[in-house]
A = this chain, B = another copy of it.
Amino acid sequence: MFYSVKTLNDIGEREAIRIIKSILSKGLESIGIGDDCAAFDIDGRYLLVSTDMITASTHIPNSMNPWEIGWFITAINFSDIAAKGGRILGMVLSLGLPVDTSEDFLVSIIKGADSCARRYKTSIVGGDTKENKELTLSGTVFGLVPKEQFMSRKGAKVGDIIAVTGSLGKAAAGFLAMQKGCSRDFTRDLFQPTPRVSEGIRLGELKVIHASMDISDGLSSSLYQLGEVNNVGFEIWLDSIPISNRLIEVCDSQECIDNSVLHFGGDYELLLILPEDKFLEVKHELDLLGTNITKIGRVRRDLEILLKDRNGVYTVLPDLGYEHFKHR
């Protein structure tokens, strides 16, 4: 007689998170796990808190230099506050470092993190430094947003449009270029993402966004997460998705381009759901910040997530976002 023990390799990251959520007693003040940030009511504002961890073997390619590693962990944390409309107060950064880490390497990580923080007019305010077999960085960012400016993941209404800031495929282009051995110019967007902090604040102030999240895990994965939270479906118009010029340059085929914009993560753009009649106002405001916004689809009543391809044919969009642990 034998029985099997499930490991993380079997269950995957999302199931692990589902298990964690099912155990934790939720605090009364907290909006709770499941959004990009936890949110606490403090005198009419929300204190937003979010945390991201990266490790050498799964998140840090060899060609990423330590300055970029520091920038990266900071930027991806900031993106979660941006997606909620928050102003960043600061971040704490903990480092798990192999004993043979050089002082120069450490200095460069910190300079990268500090540069990113300064770029967004905030700072790294503390942290911890511990020995680890594997280079590990854990950032926790916190910010504030007036309650009425908080952009939840939840709030999508049937008929709303789906829009995205900037363009998609920038990080994918960097990844593909890295595989082809192209120059470092191409990996900049992959290793040094620029979270939409000013845009997030402005969008929150407009109070017209029904739901918001960042696209860190890729478009398809983000849509499936939004669909589940909101109990709705979507249709996405492939022809409308704004594509990075770099991606077009790097890809050999239309298939490469389409798969990259639909499923590859790492762009840290904002995925927004809003009433169609507010789109021009939002577009105007983001134009003033020098940022594009593009309609890419619509919220549907039924729960399917459909892709309208370049021939006008609708098919179910598969959920192919990157998931940790699960045997790859």
Give the interface of A toward B (CB within 8 A). Answer: 5-9, 11, 13, 16-17, 19-20, 23-27, 29-30, 32-33, 37-38, 40, 42-43, 47, 49-55, 57-59, 89-90, 92, 94-104, 106-107, 110-111, 114, 117-118, 122-134, 136, 138, 140, 142, 144, 324-325
Contact = CB atoms under 8 A, between A and B. Distances in A.
Contacts of A89: 27, 29, 40, 47
A25 B94 contact: no
Contacts of A16: 97, 103, 106, 129
A129 B110 CA distance: 23
Contacts of A27: 89-90, 122-123, 125
Contacts of A96: 53, 55, 96, 134, 136, 138
B24 A123 contact: yes
B30 A127 contact: no
With most chain B CB atoms within 10 A of its CB, the pick from A7, A97, A114 is A7
Contacts of A37: 126
A117 B43 CA distance: 23
Nearest 5 A-B pairs (CB), nearest first?
A27-B123, A140-B140, A138-B138, A38-B125, A53-B94
A9 B140 contact: no
A183 B154 CA distance: 50
B30 A130 contact: no
A43 to B, nearest CB: 6
Copies in the complex: 2
Contact of A47 (B6, B47, B55, B58): B47
Given A53-B136, A55-B131, A94-B138, 20 more contacts: A8-B131, A11-B103, A13-B129, A19-B106, A24-B123, A26-B123, A27-B125, A29-B89, A30-B125, A32-B126, A33-B125, A40-B89, A49-B125, A51-B128, A53-B95, A54-B130, A55-B96, A55-B132, A131-B325, A132-B136
A155 to B, nearest CB: 19
A8 B51 contact: no
Contacts of A126: 32-33, 37-38, 49-51
A140 B97 CA distance: 18
Given A89-B40, A103-B5, A125-B33, A324 B47 contact: no
With most chain B CB atoms within 10 A of its CB, the pick from A16, A52, A96, A125 is A125
B58 A103 contact: no
A15 B103 CA distance: 10
